[in-house]
Structure 1
Amino acid sequence: MNSPDSLRLLIVPGVSPGRWVSTWKDRYAQPIEVEVVAAAEIEARLVAGDGDAAFVRLPLGGPVDGGGSGALAVIPLWIEQSVVVVARENELSLLAEVSPADLAEETIITAGDDVLGWAESPGAPFTGPRPATSGDAVELVAAEAGVLVLPASIARAHTRKDVAVVPLLDGPTSQVGLAWRPVDGAPTPAVDDLIGVVRGRTANSSRGRTDEEPAVPLRPTEKAKAAARAARAAAARGAGAKGAARGRASGRAAGGKGSGGGRSGGARRRGGR
């Protein structure tokens, strides 16, 4: 992230900002750069100014909304359901969903980058060396060393054939939010635009930049109005002329048919005599 002209967006593992990045590129000329940062590091990176905005996992550890010079502003977004990652041979893989009680006889593996903080998890804790990352923990699950509880999006990122993912009911959840460091108590114009994209604000919203398309169409000038009236009048005259021409053509055609019919009848009468 070296370009000062780019919007620098940090994201925690598991967040897929593709649709928002696509909308940004369609709507704004300013480049956007995306970097995946560990959940334990992303807050410090944002506070230090090494990023304009970030998709983070809540709650944050530092001050929020006016809590000092290092405070971050946050918009809570969606809440993720957690899942249990089990070995393919584990009987839990046959269930449509599991509850904490179903994990009572299992060995629970917790990775060093864990974001759930399930302090009262059931089962027995894994006694081996703690895996540094969720990916390392999934390796242990595949080796049938235990089971792993993760947010669903992180589990999807580590999908493999020798493990299964089962939804966990009544377990810990993880909330994702959009965070930024306010400047003079407000987001920068670029961050405000990103907030609008994430919240579904349209390109014509009045809360955009001044170089965006206006929120409502501009009123036509008097010259444009006069040109439009002239065009409509010309179209009306053309339509009238075409109608008159069709009428004359129809009249001539009808007269020709009548004269032809009279001559034919006269010929038949002469033939009769």
Structure 2
Amino acid sequence: MTTLSRWMRTLAGAVALGASFLATSAASAQTAENEFDQVFAAAQKDIVQGPRDVKLSSQAVLHLPDGKLYIPQPYAAKLMHAMGNPGDYSDLEGVVFQRGDDGWFATLRFEKSGYIKDDDAKHWDAADMLKSFKEGTEASNEERKKMGGRALEITGWAQEPTYAADTHRLVWAMKSREVGAPANEPQGVNYNTYALGREGYMSLNLVTGLDDLPKYKGEAQQLLGALEFNDGKRYADFNSSTDKVAEYGLAALVLGVGAKKLGLLAVIGAFFLKFAKIILLAVVGFGGAIMKLFGRKKSETAES
């Protein structure tokens, strides 16, 4: 059985926040594969290979490291949809893959929230934040079930919220699973990293399997370190006389964004649990297509 077939079999019957997934028939599997290939074929001329600088809106630049591939919009959103990810991608800048078959990918977004004050990071309590996540998730389970989703439970931090005041970088990751799921069932995880700027924040979200997080979180940290705001857009460039200040601080950013990713806000689909695991399998399954496109593009570059 191919990886794609295993992915489609895993996909069978899975529902996240009422979003119906693809059927497991051979025809459906072929359709999914074809859609993915079509997106990559259309995006080929726009795929960026590191090392190279990638402009992100008018806000920042990503110094894309060697060995990484960057797929920009509009192909990034189409790629996410092709992998079975519903949702609004209007703020998505692009998607980063590792060249080859490593089991992760990362999404890059910019949220024009305004300047986020970071003074509450000195006083937050990770245990209280975890409790809030758990209580909110439990309270939302009935609504989640009405939407066709499955009850979720929070099992702990994969990484407690950590903020570096000198670089204005925030990192955190939450563990969750379906209620009643076997303890040994593989879990997906979002490793969330943020870079604060003058007008909002860049989020770099690495998606992988929970067991693989120790192996791959360095990739997210490398990308976060390679992210640089433009002159005039840096956190230190804030002007209290003219600039918009966000209505929330760092703790609310973690809780609010986390709530969206858990489905506490019904308008957004989650990337966790089986969903993240499904995406992981898809990325591994389509690694050959990525490499094939990379090889062709490298050949074209050499010829030119």
Q: TM-score, normalised by structure 1?
A: 0.23
Tell me which protein shows more strand as a share of its residues: 2
Higher relative contact order (CA 8 A, sep 6+): 2
Q: TM-score, normalised by structure 2?
A: 0.22
- Find the structure with the greater CA-based Rg: 1
